[in-house]
Chains A and B, each alone.
Chain A
Amino acid sequence: MASVIAADNPGAAVLLMGNEAVARGAIEAGIGVASAYPGSPTSEILPAIADVSGERDIYVEWSTNEKVALEVAAASSFAGIRSLAVMKQNGLNVALDFLVNLNMTGIGEGGMVVFVSDDPGAMTSGNEQDSRMAAKWFDNPLLEPENAHEAKEMVAWAFEFSESVNLPVIVRGVTRLCYTRGNVVLGDLPAGMRKKARFSDVWDMYNPTKSKFTATPSPVAHRLLHEKFEKAREILENAPFNRYSGPDNPELLIIATGVSAAYSAEAVDVLHLKERVGLLKMGALWPLPKKTILQWLSRTKNVLFVEEMDAFMEGSVMELWAGAGLHDGGIRFHGKCSGHFPPCNEQGADLVIKALTDILKIEHQLIDADYKREAAEYMRLVPNRPINMCAGCPHRATYWAIKNAIALDGRNGFVCGDIGCYAMGFGPPGFFQARTMHAMGSGTGVANGFGHLGRFGFDQPVIALSGDSTFYHAALPALVNAVYNRSNFTLLILDNGATAMTGFQPHPGTGVLATGEPAPVVDMEALCRATGAEVMVCDPFNLTETTQAILTMMKKNAGVRVIIMRHLCQLVKVKRKIAPRYSMRVEPEKCIGESCGCDRLCTRVFGCPGLMWDSRAGKAMIDEAICVGCGLCADVCPAGAIRKEEVH
């Protein structure tokens, strides 16, 4: 069945997830290239485009990291073909070094959109950040959609905008936008032949930025950038994404960006404040459309800013107001500055309601008592699911071996963790082993540094972790650095055959492209060997052998040692319909449970969700619905009570 993303049915309203709407917008704009590195909450955009890449003639790729993704997309724009690069907030940081040069050089004749999603509340991330700050920091146009439909419209529009100002355009999403479904009215699909890609060979004296993509001489390029920026501002003054609704002279003006506009509208509605409060919904944010904003500021005495994460609009508008010399206007500003919104976590209509009742001194019972009681009752029905690795997850096996190896080694060794499912290793699923975690590849980078502290008396063995995809993304330079600079640590590459955390996207080691077509395998083992590191490969499910291998490598205490922990992600096994290996059961007579000699090792410490503790019987049980028959717990049970039988 053809994907709805590419349905040629203009005017039809379809239900799309925000991420799909972004994909659709890019397709309507006729992009030729889409590139991304997987990262929730944006991971679904590229696959949606990949699904129709054949019929729409679009080149898609999972790049090894976001900087490369951005570079791949930029080349296409340089050659006149529209391009989309997609990343999450952390990815933008990786790509920034290219982006801060790209806006200086311009993007050529093919429009370019960089879709970046932030993750307020860090629901799928290790950090919280407001990516919009980047736009202000290095002068890059910025848009922020309110809902799925606007996301589609805005992305499509952004390509033209990009071309008219010769700059990449950042479209900022948030998790709520990316993962919420909404009605999207489809537009026209591009028709006719795609234009030929061509990198201009003409040295245009009068318009060098169109044919030359270097930012030198920088002062000139920087001046040109600011000229383009003023042009961009003019365009945004009239962009269709900034709208006002409310009285002509509102008692209070809400300035809300992106999804916050929807929360704000809801709050105004709930409090019946349409006659008193105005809402300036902003989607075209940067360069700041000064005229539009000043026009509304001059009509009110109270402003409330509502936006996800930092005080981006709030600060910018206050600067504008101060600079415009309108102080006598006597406006009171509210938002993060007044403490009505926290500078972190997700916001919502509730917070807006609270702010409005406080500022306008109105009574409102936020949640009535009955509702509260009912909600609490429902909450009781929701099972408490602590974060955990899946049943059958090879990371649990690896961490078990690491934990035991570190204890046996006895020199207070520790783990420098990294980004991926195995980041959970800081808590119970990884037996509290991961002790540092920052950016992609940082486990290896930080381990590099520890490896040189021996001269200051540091004598603890260091283990760095890297996922397979993370390895290609950013750990490889750190590994090369480590070998070159003669650092001292053991790197464990957790090769589970997929970018598991974000949805099993392929990577250079998997032999598969974003489109599902076969690809050459970039041999991780050979790559590591080529650096000069000592390399071995283990299956973490052989617990004893793996523990011994880690121990041996730790003990070497010189140079860089690499162990590739190779075992397929359990969910990939399920996707590939690989049948469970064992059928598992607990023999209750043998289970010694809470007594000395076990103390519920399997359910209390090992913690595979496929095991349950029957507190009434005082015995462990297999949860048939969750157990995937990996057999690992049978090797962990000290009483031989967990039996595994090979399934034929």
Chain B
Amino acid sequence: MSGTKRGSRNLLEDVLKAGLCTGCGACVTGCPYMAIHEGRIVVLDRCTIEDGDCWRHCPRTPTDVSGFSEKTQGVPFDFLEPGAIIAVEMVRSVDAAVREKGQDGGVVTALLAFALDEGMIDSVVCSKKDAGGAPHGFVARTARELLECAGSSYEAAFTLEAFRKIPAGNADRLAVVGVGCQMEALAKMKAAAPVNGGNPQNVQLTVGLFCGWALRSDIFRPLLEEICDTSRIVKFDIPHSPGTSFDVYTKDAGKISIPLDDIRPAINPACQYCWDMTAEFADISAGSAGSSFHGWNTVITRTPRGAGLMKRAVAAGIIEIQPLPESRMTKLKASALNRKKNALRNLARKSGTREDLGYISGLPAGLVDALLKD
């Protein structure tokens, strides 16, 4: 499925130095030659392994995307659609307290807390913000811990580091929350389990987050420190309207709006090569793009497993649902496709030819030309 066999030396050359690292966190745990430092993956020394986990699981090493789709979603891959779809709806948590803490409708937190509660899973690999609002991979075992993790950080969170830290042999049934590249890495781990650490066979549920881009901590943090006392940060938001500001909510100063353009220099350049806005390899994906109202999520239910959870959660009165208007659906699909075109275009520009799309392989012949013709 994944193409070549390589090691950290190639990861360094072909991913890290090539500016492709998304900060998913899949490669670093269990490897003494790599570390995370200030939002970067750092290679500390020379490893001679030529068939390494790091290369195998990195979402930016050659990936046969259609092969993966079939394996994880059980349906043939259609690059023109935003992944496998059972339903696309507007959803929110019934509990106002969850909505309050959650990023949009609090659906992700509500669903996972419910899955913990009903015993579908034992723990959730997600991301928790530290005292300064910086995200780190975290394993939540209770609804309370989950609620502490609610709300988005827009920095790359290296969440999968925490997943890989779960010792082999640990029997917890897991849910994993993450953005598209993290779902891809997880899919790669399911296809070939890591040699040490992380139990992909125990993953019962994956919840994807829509993602436009993530920020590089080493650039974003200093910006943030200039405008506020980071230890007082409550929440970040990028409101749809007017769509030009990045809001930081703090305990003392309330909302501080920064022009989105000021934040853009901190966007991880690797994100321009990402094709996956809606986390297509998840059981359920949630975002806000497309939803009509503030405080609601747009949720794509992708797999029967995801559908079952949604159904039980509605029945239990945990979440409430409204249909997504047709026009919104069209818009969502258009932006997801647009994202793919951009990624292909940027990859082709990087390599200098459409024949070489870097890490993406397995796309039907002619499709790329058709997509990039305008």
Question: CB within 8 Å of B: which residues of A?
Answer: 403-404, 407-408, 410, 431, 592, 595-599, 601, 604-605, 636, 638-639
Contacts and interface: CB of A to CB of B under 8 A. Distances in A.
Contact of B195 (A403, A431, A596): A596
Interface string B32-45: 11010100101111
Interface in B128-187: none
A601 B32 contact: yes
Interface residues of B, number: 21
Nearest to A406: B44
Contacts of B42: 407-408, 410
A431 B45 contact: yes
Interface in B201-257: none
A598 B44 contact: no
Contacts of B53: 596-597
A596 B35 CA distance: 15
Contact of B31 (A408, A410, A636, A638): A638
A598 B32 contact: yes
A407 B44 contact: yes
Contacts of A410: 37, 40, 42
B196 A592 contact: yes
B127 to A, nearest CB: 22
Interface of B: 30-33, 35, 37, 40, 42-49, 51-53, 195-197
A638 B197 CA distance: 12
A401 to B, nearest CB: 11
29 contacts: A403-B45, A404-B35, A407-B35, A407-B42, A407-B43, A407-B44, A408-B35, A408-B37, A410-B42, A431-B45, A595-B49, A595-B195, A595-B196, A596-B49, A596-B52, A596-B53, A597-B31, A597-B195, A597-B197, A599-B33, A599-B49, A601-B32, A601-B33, A604-B48, A605-B45, A638-B30, A638-B31, A638-B32, A639-B196
Contacts of A403: 44-45
A597 B45 contact: no
Nearest to A431: B45
A450 B139 CA distance: 46
Contacts, number: 50
Contacts of B46: 605
B298 to A, nearest CB: 38
A597 B196 contact: yes
Contacts of A597: 30-32, 53, 195-197
Given A404-B35, A408-B35, A597-B197, 15 more contacts: A407-B35, A408-B37, A408-B44, A410-B37, A410-B40, A592-B196, A595-B49, A595-B196, A597-B30, A597-B32, A597-B195, A598-B32, A599-B47, A601-B32, A605-B46
A599 B30 contact: no
A596 B196 contact: yes
Contacts of B40: 410
A148 B47 CA distance: 51
B29 to A, nearest CB: 9
Contacts of A404: 35, 44
Q: Which of A404, A596, A639 has the most CB of B within 10 A?
A: A596
The winner among A404, A592, A599 for most chain B CB atoms within 10 A is: A599
A467 to B, nearest CB: 25
A604 B44 CA distance: 14
Contacts of B49: 595-596, 599
A598 B44 CA distance: 13
Contacts of A604: 48
Contacts of A431: 45
A410 B21 CA distance: 15
Nearest to A605: B45
Contacts of A638: 30-32
Nearest to B195: A596
A598 B196 CA distance: 10
B287 to A, nearest CB: 32
A636 B33 CA distance: 11
Closest 3 CB pairs of A and B: A638-B32, A597-B196, A408-B37
B40 to A, nearest CB: 6
A410 B38 CA distance: 10
A597 B43 CA distance: 13
B142 to A, nearest CB: 28
Nearest to A407: B44
Nearest to B197: A597
Contact of B48 (A407, A408, A599, A636): A599
B32 A596 contact: no
A18 B220 CA distance: 66
A587 to B, nearest CB: 15
Contacts of B35: 404, 407-408
A404 B45 CA distance: 8
Contacts of A592: 196
Contacts of B47: 599
A256 B357 CA distance: 72
A604 B47 CA distance: 10
Given A404-B44, A410-B42, A605-B45, A596 B33 contact: no
A595 B45 CA distance: 16
A605 B31 CA distance: 14
Contacts of A639: 196
A124 B196 CA distance: 45
Contacts of A599: 33, 47-49
Contacts of B52: 596
B209 to A, nearest CB: 28
Contacts of B195: 595-597
Nearest to B48: A599
Contacts of B45: 403, 407, 431, 605
Contacts of B32: 597-598, 601, 636, 638
A438 to B, nearest CB: 27
A638 B45 CA distance: 13
Report which residue of B31, B45, B51, B196 has the largest number of chain A beta carbons within 10 angstroms of its beta carbon. Answer: B45
B253 to A, nearest CB: 28
A196 B122 CA distance: 91
Contacts of B197: 597
A313 B355 CA distance: 71
A601 B8 CA distance: 14
B139 to A, nearest CB: 20
A625 B40 CA distance: 42
A636 B44 CA distance: 13
Contacts of B31: 596-597, 638
A532 B49 CA distance: 47
Contacts of A605: 45-46
Contacts of A596: 31, 49, 51-53, 195-196
Q: Which of A410, A597, A598, A599 has most chain B Cβ within 10 Å? A: A597
A100 B42 CA distance: 53
A638 B53 CA distance: 15
A515 to B, nearest CB: 45
A598 B32 CA distance: 7
A407 B44 CA distance: 6
B305 to A, nearest CB: 30
A17 B51 CA distance: 56
Nearest to A604: B48
B17 to A, nearest CB: 11
A397 to B, nearest CB: 15
Contacts of A408: 35, 37, 42, 44
Contacts of B196: 592, 595-597, 639
Nearest to B30: A597
A592 B197 CA distance: 12
Contacts of A601: 32-33
Contacts of B30: 597, 638
A638 B43 CA distance: 15
A483 B35 CA distance: 34
